[in-house]
Amino acid sequence: MKDHYTFSNEGINERIDKFITEKVTDASRSQIQSLIKEGHITVNGSSVKSNYKVQSEDIIEVNIPEPEVIDAKPEDISIEIIYEDQDVLVVNKPQGMVVHPSIGHSSGTLVNALLYHIKDLSGIKGKIRPGIVHRIDKDTSGLLMIAKNDVAHEKLSEQLKEKKAQREYIALVHGLIHHDKGTIDAPIGRDSSNRKKYAVVDNGKPSVTHFEVIERFNKFTLIKLILETGRTHQIRVHMDYIEHPLAGDPIYGPRKTIKGNGQFLHAETLGFTHPTTGEEMKFSSPIPEIFQETIEILRKQ
């Protein structure tokens, strides 16, 4: 996949590996350094080193090779299909299921299940992520759209990029949020002290999350969130940033929290324009049983 970038003022005199990692892709800095070393990233048509400083009007070409194919095998795993036609399907992912295979998760994923239930899936981004247009974390439940051919995949991906797809979440967070509505506009990038985490950082990618209070409890608040952008761990990072981390979040939340199977975060509503018919599609999914049971307990406290 080749992309060209021309920069005028942004990133001037910044190391190219750092700049591309934080402003262009979600790849790690070590991955970008490897791509630079292998000649997949060039400046003005020439190879450079990772410590090259970006200059005004540089033309940077990023050629990210297709991911190495992981031989994901079809597995007879039950999945809840909310909608399906010849181009797309919408699934309700349960909490605890990984979306696509990776190191340490070569089986039991949503992709393994999809390969069993669906004969044809798009292959964009390599066979490691067949059909997957967007993803949610392992311990986040809820709706995902899946592309069944490459044309649908491109069009759905474009809707996400242009912020035309609708994604609404329900979350239970620590503490009482006293204002009824709010917007968190804070850039997100990798945490400099822990590369497995993300954080609000000055040089991160623009990230916007809107929230609205649904119900307040003794020490928790139930909220609806609308994503304007879709950064990795965006909701989890943003809520931690305003000191209302998600209940049950094993990475960004406090250790002592409500008993559950991970963060109380559910992708409740998904809306998009059908890639072939142009019809406006909208789907919703109720929160999982353990989520509902927890809310009932909090109401009685």
Contact predicate 266/167, CB 8 Å = no
186: left (phi over 0), alpha (psi -120 to 50) or beta: beta
- Assess whether 137 carries a catalytic annotation: yes
Q: Closest by alpha carbon to 285, among 168, 164, 194, 160?
A: 168
- Residue in 17, 58, 87, 137 annotated catalytic: 137
The DSSP H or E segment spanning 273 is strand 265-273
Q: Closest by alpha carbon to 270, among 230, 231, 233?
A: 230
CA distance from start to end of the chain: 54
Q: Closest by alpha carbon to 134, among 174, 107, 96, 161?
A: 161
Contact predicate 220/173, CB 8 Å = yes
State how far the Cα of 301 lies from the Cα of 275, in Å rounded to an integer: 47
Pairing outcome for strands 194-200 and 265-273: unpaired
Q: Which residues are catalytic, by number?
A: 137
